[in-house]
């Protein structure tokens, strides 16, 4: 979109403030952004992500500037502007332009027009007293780390050596990583195709390609023809882990128990000829599985079902392998979805762990002796990873833990810091445990 087509900044700020209000009401950022006009969405998303990554700081600053909480839309607009202003070295716009456009937004939003002078006064005071105000908020951990207090405290307890790196990584923009479809091309050939298209990239792992800069998928060579999919490099470990050590004969029965949107299902099918059943509890999300497989030229039996309600969908024939990418806090992918940290509550972790435990208990009997179950979550919390599997192993004598990555912490290789368990560089936070079913 050129400058003539881009909506004025005040209108983008208005939309970002509305997204922030929606997140504060408990709506996902994805759903809130879907309500934005398509022409404005890319710019509004970029600004919304920046605001959500700095929301802790912005809220602390707003409290200093306006101790009495303003009406919701005024508060959202102030926090939006402060999140974009507080760090001028990374700001997309000049500070005075941002202030002027935030005030213009207030003037052109009927519900808060009478508050325009108040918005102007708060933001201009911030510009005058910036250093002193920032120094005051530096003492607030929520402002310093831009995560809820309970989240920070939990990471400090569970990862005493790495918690700061985990939080810092969560505030960075994630790289765009592609998975090469091994049925259509190779990693080397696709890197060449990218170079010919003028797109810089580096290889990651066995099937991954990391772009130097993100771009629309329509600009990727062969995307419409199924050459590649967008998938983080940590998520690309699923298929090789699940298939390693299994017999290579065609037709092995594999279950992907929580499959939408289908990326991991697709990778398994790209690497082997298998009979895959892909489940998801949501019919609309199952359509996304069909779309994913259709673009890649792959086939699976896709069913709308609750994996834990085994009697409603299982036909009685055991599986050679099961992938349980369990519902979780998504605490390992907050750099891609910065709204998650503000939507989650501390009580969610125990509730999600109970769901994960139930799924493990219900699906384990469906696995053949000698078969493998890969449990994974995109979480950095131990209750959803290591502690979950330790409890399962303690109560299942037929389960043996095979060599697995365990907890992978989000990497920051672009900034020069890499967690000790992060040999493949910049990736999201995940947990992996590969279990084999042994004879009783």
The 10s digit of each residue's pLDDT in 389-417 is 999 999 999 999 999 999 998 864 433 33
- Whether 272 and 397 map to the same domain: the answer is yes
**Arithmetic mean of pLDDT, 32-43:** 93
Decide which of 90, 123, 146 is a domain's last residue: 146
Decide which of 187, 210, 230 is a domain's last residue: 230
pLDDT of residue 250: 79
- Whether 258 and 392 map to the same domain: the answer is yes
- Whether 51 and 191 map to the same domain: the answer is no
Query: What does the alpha-carbon distance between residue 114 and residue 136 come to, in Å, rounded to a whole number?
Result: 30
- Whether 37 and 114 map to the same domain: the answer is yes
Query: What does the alpha-carbon distance between residue 175 and residue 212 come to, in Å, rounded to a whole number?
Result: 8
**How crowded is the C-beta side of 90, counted as CA atoms within 13 Å?**
13
Local structure of 335: helix, strand or coil: coil
Residue 172 lies in a domain: no
CA distances from 107 to 16, 74, 121 (A): 16, 11, 14
Decide which of 214, 230, 246 is a domain's last residue: 230
Among 37-46, 114-123, 287-296, 420-429, the minimum mean pLDDT is found in 420-429
Residue 152 lies in a domain: no
Residue 105 lies in a domain: yes
Query: For the chain, what percent of residues have pLDDT higher than 90?
Result: 90
pLDDT of residue 10: 96
Residue 269 lies in a domain: yes
pLDDT at 360 over 80: yes
- Whether 88 and 128 map to the same domain: the answer is yes
pLDDT of residue 424: 55
The phi, psi pair for 402, rounded to 5°, reads -90, 165
- Whether 26 and 72 map to the same domain: the answer is yes
Q: How far apart are the first and last CA of the chain?
A: 63
pLDDT at 96 over 90: yes
- Whether 209 and 261 map to the same domain: the answer is no
pLDDT of residue 2: 47
pLDDT of residue 244: 87
Residues spanned by the domain of 46: 9-146
- Whether 369 and 338 map to the same domain: the answer is yes
Q: Could you read off the pLDDT of 303-351 as tens digits, one per residue?
A: 999 999 999 999 999 999 999 999 999 999 999 999 999 999 999 999 9
Q: Which residues are catalytic?
A: 378
Residues contacting 269, CB < 8 A, separation 6+: 276, 293, 296, 298, 299, 300
Q: Could you read off the pLDDT of 135-179 as tens digits, one per residue?
A: 999 999 999 999 999 999 999 999 999 999 999 999 999 999 999
- Whether 199 and 254 map to the same domain: the answer is no
- Are residues 381 and 329 in contact, defined by beta-carbon separation less than 8 angstroms? yes
pLDDT at 254 over 80: yes
- CATH number of the domain to which 206 belongs: 3.30.70.1170
Residue 69 lies in a domain: yes
Among 1-10, 365-374, 416-425, the minimum mean pLDDT is found in 416-425
Query: What does the alpha-carbon distance between residue 7 and residue 231 come to, in Å, rounded to a whole number?
Result: 31
Task: Give the global pTM.
Answer: 0.92
pLDDT at 354 over 50: yes
- Whether 28 and 106 map to the same domain: the answer is yes
- CATH number of the domain to which 433 belongs: 3.40.50.150
**Arithmetic mean of pLDDT, 286-293:** 96
Split into its structural domains, the chain has a count of 3
pLDDT of residue 151: 98
pLDDT of residue 54: 97
Q: List, as one string, the DSSP characters of 61-102.
A: HHHHH-SSPPPHHHHHHHHHHHHHHS-GGG-SS-HHHHHHHH
pLDDT at 130 over 70: yes
Query: What does the alpha-carbon distance between residue 104 and residue 26 come to, in Å, rounded to a whole number?
Result: 28
**Arithmetic mean of pLDDT, 101-108:** 97
Handedness of CA 211, 212, 216, 222 (dihedral sign): negative
Query: What letter does residue 318 receive in the DSSP assignment?
Result: P
- Whether 256 and 281 map to the same domain: the answer is yes
Query: For the chain, what percent of residues have pLDDT higher than 70?
Result: 95
Res. 5 pLDDT band, cuts 50 70 90: low
- CATH number of the domain to which 137 belongs: 1.10.940.10
CA dihedral 272, 278, 283, 284 (to 10 degrees): -30
- Are residues 56 and 50 in contact, defined by beta-carbon separation less than 8 angstroms? no
Residue 4 lies in a domain: no
Residue 322 lies in a domain: yes
- Pairing status of strand 177-180 against strand 201-204: unpaired
For the record, the structure tokens of 49 come out as 């992500």
Q: Is 69 exposed, middle or buried (0-12, 13-18, 19+ CB in 10 A)?
A: exposed
Residue 160 lies in a domain: no
The per-residue pLDDT of the chain, averaged, comes to 93
pLDDT at 364 over 60: yes
Local structure of 424: helix, strand or coil: coil
pLDDT at 299 over 60: yes
Q: Each residue of 27-39: b (16+ CB within 10 Å) or e?
A: eebeebbeebeee
- Whether 239 and 276 map to the same domain: the answer is yes
């Amino acid at each position: 979109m050129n400058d003539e087509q881009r909506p004025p900044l005040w209108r983008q700020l208005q939309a970002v403030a509305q997204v922030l209000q929606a997140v504060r009401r408990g709506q996902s950022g994805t759903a809130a952004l879907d309500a934005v006009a398509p022409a404005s969405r890319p710019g509004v998303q970029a600004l919304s992500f920046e605001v959500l990554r700095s929301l802790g700081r912005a809220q602390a600053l707003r409290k200093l500037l306006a101790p009495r909480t303003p009406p919701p839309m005024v508060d959202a607009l102030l926090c939006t502007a402060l999140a974009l202003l507080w760090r001028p070295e990374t700001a997309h716009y000049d500070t005075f332009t941002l202030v002027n456009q935030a005030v213009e937004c207030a003037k052109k939003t009927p519900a808060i027009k009478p508050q325009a002078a108040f918005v102007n006064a708060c933001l201009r005071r911030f510009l005058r007293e910036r250093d002193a105000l920032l120094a005051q908020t530096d003492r607030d951990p929520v402002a310093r780390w831009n995560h809820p207090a309970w989240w920070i405290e939990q990471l400090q307890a569970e990862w005493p050596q790495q918690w700061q790196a985990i939080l810092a990584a969560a505030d960075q923009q994630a790289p765009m990583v592609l998975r090469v479809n091994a049925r259509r091309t190779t990693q080397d050939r696709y890197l060449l195709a990218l170079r010919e298209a003028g797109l810089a990239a580096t290889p990651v792992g066995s099937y991954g390609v990391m772009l130097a800069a993100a771009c629309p998928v329509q600009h990727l060579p062969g995307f419409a023809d199924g050459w590649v999919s967008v998938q983080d490099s940590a998520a690309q470990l699923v298929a090789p882990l699940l298939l390693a050590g299994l017999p290579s004969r065609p037709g092995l029965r594999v279950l992907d128990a929580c499959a939408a949107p289908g990326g991991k299902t697709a990778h398994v099918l790209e690497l082997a000829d298998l009979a895959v059943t892909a489940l998801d509890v949501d019919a609309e999300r199952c359509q996304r599985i069909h779309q994913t497989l259709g673009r890649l030229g792959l086939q699976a039996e896709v069913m709308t079902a609750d994996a834990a309600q085994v009697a409603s969908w299982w036909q009685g024939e055991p599986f050679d392998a099961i992938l349980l990418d369990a519902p979780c806090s998504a605490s390992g992918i907050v750099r891609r979805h910065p709204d998650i940290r503000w939507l989650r509550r501390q009580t969610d972790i125990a509730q999600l762990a109970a769901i994960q435990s139930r799924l493990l208990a219900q699906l384990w009997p469906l696995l053949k002796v000698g078969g493998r179950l890969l449990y994974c979550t995109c979480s950095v919390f131990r209750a959803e990873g290591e502690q979950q599997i330790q409890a399962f192993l303690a109560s299942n004598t037929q389960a043996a833990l095979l060599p697995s990555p365990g907890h992978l912490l989000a990497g920051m290789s672009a900034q020069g810091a890499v967690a000790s368990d992060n040999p493949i560089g910049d990736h999201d936070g995940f947990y992996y445990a590969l279990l084999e079913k042994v004879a009783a």
